[in-house]
Structure 1
Amino acid sequence: MKNIKPLLLIIMDGWGWREERQGNAIALAGTPHLDALKKEYPFTLLRASGEAVGLPEGQMGNSEVGHLNIGAGRIVYQDLTRINLAIKNGTFFENPVLKEAFRAAKKGGGKVHLLGLVSDGGVHSHIEHLYALLAFARKEGLSDRTFVHAFTDGRDTPPTSGITYMKALVNKMQELACGKVATVSGRYYAMDRDKRWERTALAYEALVLGRGLTAPDPVAAIEAAYARGETDEFIKPTVILSGDHPVATIDDQDVVIFFNFRADRARQLTRALTDPDFKEFERKKFPKLAYFVCMTLYDETFDLPVAFPPEHLKNIWGEVVSKAGFYQFRTAETEKYAHVTYFFNGGEEKPFPREERKLIPSPRDVPTYDLKPEMSAYEVTAEVIERIKSGRYHFIVMNYANGDMVGHTGVLEAAIKAVKVVDECVGRVVAAWRQYTDGAPAIVTADHGNCEMMIDPETGEPFTAHTANPVPFYLVDDRFKGASLKEGILGDIAPTGLYLMGLEIPEEMTGQVLLES
């Protein structure tokens, strides 16, 4: 066996690279530990958005996509790109699972309910996919039995852009003469992922019982929310009325198509609507659905039809390390734990042999993370340093959630604090790694941008979304001091990492080694 070296991979979530200082939490905070690495070791920038990570051109990256590409060592074509392509080439309208859903509605006489995030944010859903489903419903002769339960965004899109998307949706429905909006709920309720079931319950009651705030039409629902001081993300579940009755509720024999393509924030509501043994809150009514479609695989344990099942990725980073017989360790706090495990492993839930994991709980004592910008970074750091000292692992993957989660709050001062904490923690982990592994290689990088742009340069308003900026890549390895690195993409990290470790790069990894040969 040639000289195999262990490797540490630190992923700073939501940490893009931007020269301008205005609204740039990273530049304003100052990052002495990262600056020292940049001065002493090779550094480059990686593209983490658009076609470089298998997304449509110009589309900002996100944590899911970022970790998939980093773990796979190649460009992974995202569900968004796959579904867009299917719509473009017409195969979408032949999709057997979607066809079966419409058939079930026709056969049982039930309604079709289209659930999902109504925006073009492209992180969890895309409004064009909803338009395609409406066109499909019309083609199947279900125009007057199709209803949309619209979840408003304001997180991957500007905070009050929801009204624009809603007007566009209403226009599209008129143009197609198909469908009506039945409910409007902010994603905070309909798409919770932190087991705050009381939020999911409010969305469920609007969908199934027609219970909640009411409005005469969907645009009025959003206007009323703005008047109450709620931005899109936080719009309280609102039932649209026709006369004094809900336009539509989900009932026995109905069909539901959840058109979000990202799994993590679709799971809770899906469970509430489909799991007969559900105990998280009391369901006053549990409709016996004719058919429930998940746009993509939301959870291995859901026995539900999937319109676009995952494509299996072979020979990814964790697998190569595992096959070589080494132990590896993955950790992050709750908000990003799925990213260093499930997504890093190509969308597979099961760990590889000799892959160990530890979830560090995210703080539950604050409603939003601007109130606790350090989140659980110190606990993640302490855990990793313990594991480093054990000498057991040849590969450690860790994530700091702060840049992204605090970045999403739009609170610049809090993001500056978050950056300082991450910089300090990275410094401590890298120092411990080098001390206990006798200077083995480390990579410090990021998955996509966010906290480097906290203020919208056009409007001067807080900017809460991800960015399309490149991300930093620090190669900490004494063997390569003074070496120059190519600019690359996230898919180049794994081949580079395997090269530094002295492990063979599998042919499925189409990424490049970033060191200039």
Structure 2
Amino acid sequence: MIWGIVKWAIMLWGQGGFLHKGVFYVLYAFHLMCLYKLGTIHTVHFNRAKLVDHALETGKIFEGAGFKYIQECFSDGTLHLIGLLSDGGVHSRYDQLQALMRGSAAHGAKRIRVHALTDGRDVLDGSSFHFMEQLEKDLEELRKQGVDALLASGGGRMYVTMDRYENDWNVVKRGWDAQVLGEAPNKFKSGLEALKHLKAANPKFNDQYCPPFVIIDDSGKAVGPILDGDAVVTFNFRADRMIMLAKALEYEDFDKFDRVRVPKINYAGMLQYDGELKLPSRYLVNPPEIDRTSGEYLVKNGVRTYACSETVKFGHVTFFWNGNRSGLFDENLECYYEIPSDQGITFNEQPLMKALEIGEKARDAILSGKYDQVRVNLPNGDMVGHTGDIKATIIACEAADKAVKMILDAIDQVGGIYLVTADHGNAEDMVKRNPKTAQPLLDKNGNIQILTSHTCWPVPIAIGGPGLSPGVRFRADLPDGGLANVAATMMNLLGFEAPADYEPSLIEVVES
């Protein structure tokens, strides 16, 4: 039996939570749901959104070099805005898109085309109708002001454009075909018509996997393909699901799919998405400075590190972990291992995902004695939970449990320490609830309404293993401790004093 301590509620939100500076691993890290930047020591994720908010509110976004670059195309070309149509605040926010459209029009954009990606993941499935209706109204208001503003194309985020970590380039190609070439198997006169028709044609339709569509005029011609002389902005502030499209838009030497036609455009991201690759090279808002991440700190102190996950979350233990930075800090001290994810399916079709393979790789790394720290990400609960398939999610969690057992057994053998946590929930509660009573909400047929987005409940953290001192306890003076405190906790468990600018550790040693 491995001795350990468990705290069942660390905070996700506020000072203790998503303003996090944390990491959550010591030899083994289990990501129960969906990690974002637990490897950094800065308030990064929401800072990116706040940086955009500030730039839009003050108007500084329209004074910067990035905007002036796209503004060069306003007189004769079209401004194309590509991103997630959502107010989830994870990848984008609709109010930021509104402000960008209005501000661009006020600064000379005569022709605007929006390429909208429906969500249903960070917001409720079915909410695409609401956002599409609002977008159509906002575009109509711009047209009343003399701006030629239209929706040009659309599709679901998990099926069109927003792939990540190069898991499936076909996702990006579908977006390219619709957005750049103006080609898609589905053609409609409006976004609402598209959603209504596609939903009627497929009873299992959901926002995440909406097929690609283009908007056409009365002659059947696409209203907004990207052409030479146009400007393009990807308006998501979060990086991971924009990088692949950014490569397709910016790289001359590109071989991931046949682009057919590569227009000469002025392209800028809302922010720079990859600091290592300097991608994109132009951006509207200066990204936050991310330095002294825990990964960098530990490597510079000689800690040998192994990071592993499958493709869909591989960047969460590498790219995000290191502060939106691709690559290794020190190839002599770090090993990153990626297990290819399944492609071309929704994850409820294969809920086991690669949990056992991840567990095996982590086990082998631990037993090898080559590493001081092993971090892994088990994405089953999050990726399958997002599908809303409860039976499949149960299978997914059982697979993750088996991987956990495999890793804990290895830790027991080597006398190590484990730290297990998550940065938010998903699989633990998959029904929509009344916000006042917490009772499940029913649809018109009396069936429970399924929740596909993340939950906001506090998450557990467990620390233990034969290498853990019996005197280690959770501190009683940090009742609201959260993800922000995990970095210092991990540093202490590895034998380091946490840097002064880290949030305080969750643990202390109590002498018996």
Aligned twin of 2:132: 166
Q: 1:458-478: CA deviations, max 9, x gaps? A: 242221111112111112154
Aligned twin of 1:388: 366
* Matching of residue 341 in structure 1 with residue 318 in structure 2: yes
Counterpart secondary structure, 1:340: coil
- In the alignment, the residues of structure 1 paired with residue 91 and residue 32 of structure 2 have an alpha-carbon distance, to the nearest angstrom, of 11
Aligned residue type for 1:509? Y
Counterpart secondary structure, 1:117: strand
* Matching of residue 205 in structure 1 with residue 177 in structure 2: yes
Aligned residue type for 1:95? G
TM-score, normalised to structure 1, is 0.84
* Matching of residue 241 in structure 1 with residue 216 in structure 2: yes
* Matching of residue 46 in structure 1 with residue 15 in structure 2: no
More divergent stretch after superposition (314-323 vs 376-385): 314-323
Counterpart secondary structure, 1:169: helix
Aligned twin of 1:371: 349
More divergent stretch after superposition (461-470 vs 251-260): 461-470
In the TM superposition, what is the alpha-carbon distance from 1:423 to its structure 2 partner? 2.1
Aligned twin of 1:430: 408
The one of 158, 165, 168 aligned to 1:196: 168
- Give matches, 1:88-487, under 5 Å: 88-102=57-71, 104-106=72-74, 109-142=76-109, 144-176=110-142, 177=145, 178=147, 179-187=149-157, 188-193=159-164, 194-212=166-184, 213-229=186-202, 230-244=205-219, 245-289=221-265, 291-299=266-274, 300-301=276-277, 302=279, 304-353=281-330, 354-364=332-342, 367-436=345-414, 438=415, 440-456=416-432, 457-459=440-442, 460-476=448-464, 478-480=468-470, 483-485=473-475, 486-487=478-479
1:323/1:278 CA distance change after superposition, 3 Å = closer
TM-score, normalised to structure 2, is 0.84
1:159/1:75 CA distance change after superposition, 3 Å = same
In the TM superposition, what is the alpha-carbon distance from 1:64 to its structure 2 partner? 11
In the TM superposition, what is the alpha-carbon distance from 1:480 to its structure 2 partner? 4.0
Q: 1:256-301: CA deviations, max 9, x gaps? A: 0110122222223333333323223323322111x10111223443
CA contact (8 A) 1:75 1:511 kept: no
Q: 1:345-389: CA deviations, max 9, x gaps? A: 122223222442333424426612222222111111111111111
Aligned residue type for 1:465? S
Answer 1 or 2: higher relative contact order, Cα 8 Å, separation at least 6.
1
In the TM superposition, what is the alpha-carbon distance from 1:65 to its structure 2 partner? 8.7
1:335/1:502 CA distance change after superposition, 3 Å = same
Counterpart secondary structure, 1:308: coil
In the TM superposition, what is the alpha-carbon distance from 1:308 to its structure 2 partner? 3.0
1:257/1:476 CA distance change after superposition, 3 Å = same
CA contact (8 A) 2:163 2:244 kept: yes
- In the alignment, the residues of structure 2 paired with residue 365 and residue 258 of structure 1 have an alpha-carbon distance, to the nearest angstrom, of 25
CA contact (8 A) 2:339 2:358 kept: no
Counterpart secondary structure, 1:242: coil
CA contact (8 A) 2:55 2:285 kept: no
CA contact (8 A) 1:499 1:513 kept: no
Aligned residue type for 1:483? R
CA contact (8 A) 2:48 2:288 kept: no
- In the alignment, the residues of structure 1 paired with residue 32 and residue 327 of structure 2 have an alpha-carbon distance, to the nearest angstrom, of 19
Aligned twin of 1:72: 40
CA contact (8 A) 2:33 2:425 kept: no
Aligned residue type for 2:401? D
Aligned twin of 1:59: none
1:83/1:51 CA distance change after superposition, 3 Å = farther
CA contact (8 A) 1:321 1:395 kept: no
CA contact (8 A) 2:312 2:341 kept: no
Aligned twin of 1:33: none
The one of 485, 493, 500 aligned to 1:500: 493
Unaligned runs of 5+ in 2: 21-30, 433-439, 443-447
1:63/1:241 CA distance change after superposition, 3 Å = farther
1:309/1:330 CA distance change after superposition, 3 Å = farther
Aligned residue type for 2:171? R
Number of residues paired by the alignment? Answer: 469
In the TM superposition, what is the alpha-carbon distance from 1:90 to its structure 2 partner? 3.5
CA contact (8 A) 1:388 1:433 kept: yes
More divergent stretch after superposition (264-273 vs 118-127): 264-273
Aligned residue type for 1:307? L
Aligned twin of 2:435: none
- In the alignment, the residues of structure 2 paired with residue 198 and residue 507 of structure 1 have an alpha-carbon distance, to the nearest angstrom, of 46
CA contact (8 A) 2:472 2:509 kept: no
In the TM superposition, what is the alpha-carbon distance from 1:97 to its structure 2 partner? 1.0
Aligned residue type for 1:117? L
Percent sequence identity over aligned pairs: 32
CA contact (8 A) 2:32 2:378 kept: no
Q: 1:442-466: CA deviations, max 9, x gaps? A: 2111122111122223242221111
- Give matches, 1:4-83, under 5 Å: 41-49=5-13, 52-54=16-18, 66-68=35-37, 70-76=38-44, 77-83=46-52
CA contact (8 A) 1:332 1:400 kept: yes
Counterpart secondary structure, 1:494: helix
Aligned residue type for 1:239? V
CA contact (8 A) 1:214 1:241 kept: yes
- In the alignment, the residues of structure 2 paired with residue 189 and residue 152 of structure 1 have an alpha-carbon distance, to the nearest angstrom, of 9
Unaligned runs of 5+ in 1: 1-35, 57-61
1:234/1:452 CA distance change after superposition, 3 Å = same
Structure 1 or 2: more helix by fraction: 1
More divergent stretch after superposition (447-456 vs 111-120): 447-456
CA contact (8 A) 2:311 2:338 kept: yes
Aligned residue type for 1:214? K
Aligned residue type for 2:242? A
Aligned residue type for 1:458? L
- In the alignment, the residues of structure 2 paired with residue 67 and residue 328 of structure 1 have an alpha-carbon distance, to the nearest angstrom, of 19
